[in-house]
Chains A and B, each alone.
Chain A
């Protein structure tokens, strides 16, 4: 089955973006990993997702980028009905106090990871957030059972009152 959930990474440094995508490779079995070099590029990509039958499950975003900041991009996502439930993560070294608070209060920020990051930590955070997304959105857990947190998804499956056929 082709993945329908998208994991979006935004960073203005191509080298950083490549490293993030490499670290998130284990998720490619069940998710489409998309990238953008700035917020405008990312916004265009997000706007086209519904037409492609895709849904943005998680946005992993740098803060300081030319043009719109990552925080403002996340706030825009949070205010749009199609991406309101998207899990939002800042991956940054340069977000100040003010911006972080805005991201938290207005952008629906779910997690903050400081650069430089540990690949294992990044994967764990993404895994937890995506698992929460699948459960909270009441999606069928089966396609994600092997990629995400099996125990939590099986627990969600258990509470779904499954019947035999």
Chain B
């Protein structure tokens, strides 16, 4: 019933702007506004899966905005640029270089999971922290964040639950530290996703939108911007968990047995993965774009037999398309002049850059608690970028910072079980209650707001990018 209502409302919103006298907005802009409102409604209320909405966006663009539209009326619309109306442009977003970067990351993560490389790495990272309770907690959080910087936060969480559940089983049922361990994993996974461009899909969306606007941010630059935030928030998260759920025993029984897979394909994976990650991290030195480097695993892992048909089929293609639809929608917002038109509705100059930045960060963190982080970013970043381009905020660099700040801020939305899939997993273990999660999540949201805004205003401008 609700689903039908949302679907009908979406279709009405799709058509509505074209029938309203919107001063200063082109016909193509009005159509894009309809698509934007309809997609927004579908993304928020999810009458259909969010990736399906993304694909509908591209479908609607082809139908209403492309030169080859079967609808005769569409061809009559005055469109800002001839290039923007080519159907190829809309279709090409499904193979956007940023998505190729993600695909490379997906393939590495898939191969890592096939040969249990993530588990082996976890042991390697956690072992040096010893067996003192507080140190083990930090070691686990550090390993989780490190892995989720390169793998999906959700897959990292599932894997880390297999690592912590034997530890938890050794603690007495009433021990509060069980909650600390179970909550540490999703917290660290959500935070770790911020660290690299491939850590989590909102990052891809911000980078995709920036690249459409003509700004490229290198892998290493992103890490330079984001990693300090991850480290700082991770430390605060650890301190908070230790305060709220202190360990009752000084040490933990930590069993980290098992080594690395030494089979031929596993060793080939270590080489390909090692080279790829090394090239990503050193992008600033050699200048080979990370999107190009991503083709090393894409080209080599199947060729070397490290992954096969089965693994390729189980890649999260829907996530790539979710991001692709978001980037495509952002492009139309920009190309049809809709974003500029929306921006002109508000007197931004009177607010000043600091208030604008803080505003976007607050909205992003708030929305991300209830919505998909990718959707949150998809709705906010195009507007933020156009705001930067319009010159309403002064310097051009601030626009890059606002876009990245929005993407990073979304990762701090983690106070509810529905906020992120890692949170849902942690709640399902039965070791964490929703109020406990909310308590930690709300503090992390405030931490995120302060850290992100402070970094964007004071720290990032100092970096040599």
* Chain A residues in 8 Å Cβ range of B161: 145, 150-151, 154, 157
* Cβ-defined contact, A164 with B165, below 8 A: no
Query: Which residues of B, 402-438, contact A by the 8 Å Cβ criterion?
Result: 420-421, 424-425, 428-431
Known: A158-B113, A158-B158. A165 touches B374 (CB 8 A): yes
Q: Is the interface of B mostly helix, strand, loop or mixed?
A: helix
* Cβ-defined contact, A163 with B113, below 8 A: no
* Cβ-defined contact, B154 with A146, below 8 A: no
Q: Does A155 lie at the interface of the complex (its beta carbon under 8 Å from any beta carbon of B)?
A: yes
Task: Name the residue on A nearest B189 (C-beta).
Answer: A164
Stretch at the interface among B290-298, B314-322, B352-360, B388-396: B314-322
* Cβ-defined contact, B162 with A154, below 8 A: yes
Known: A164-B152, A165-B373, A165-B421. A146 touches B158 (CB 8 A): no
Task: Name the residue on B nearest A151 (C-beta).
Answer: B165
- Give the distance to chain B from A80, nearest Cβ to Cβ, in Å: 31
* Cβ-defined contact, A160 with B322, below 8 A: no
Query: Which residues of A, 121-165, contact B by the 8 Å Cβ criterion?
Result: 141-143, 145-147, 150-151, 154-155, 157-165
* Cβ-defined contact, B110 with A161, below 8 A: yes
* Cβ-defined contact, B315 with A155, below 8 A: no
- Give the distance to chain A from B316, nearest Cβ to Cβ, in Å: 4
* Chain B residues in 8 Å Cβ range of A145: 161, 425, 428-430
- Give the distance to chain A from B185, nearest Cβ to Cβ, in Å: 10
* Chain B residues in 8 Å Cβ range of A143: 428
Taking beta carbons and an 8 Å cutoff, which residues of A are in contact with B?
Answer: 141-143, 145-147, 150-151, 154-155, 157-165
Taking beta carbons and an 8 Å cutoff, which residues of B are in contact with A?
Answer: 50, 110, 113, 152-155, 157-159, 161-162, 165-166, 168, 193, 200-201, 314-316, 318-319, 322, 372-375, 420-421, 424-425, 428-431
27 residue pairs of the A-B complex, CB under 8 angstroms, read A141-B428, A143-B428, A145-B161, A145-B430, A147-B430, A150-B165, A154-B158, A154-B425, A157-B158, A158-B159, A158-B162, A161-B110, A161-B155, A161-B314, A162-B154, A162-B157, A162-B421, A163-B154, A163-B155, A163-B201, A164-B152, A164-B200, A164-B201, A165-B372, A165-B373, A165-B374, A165-B420
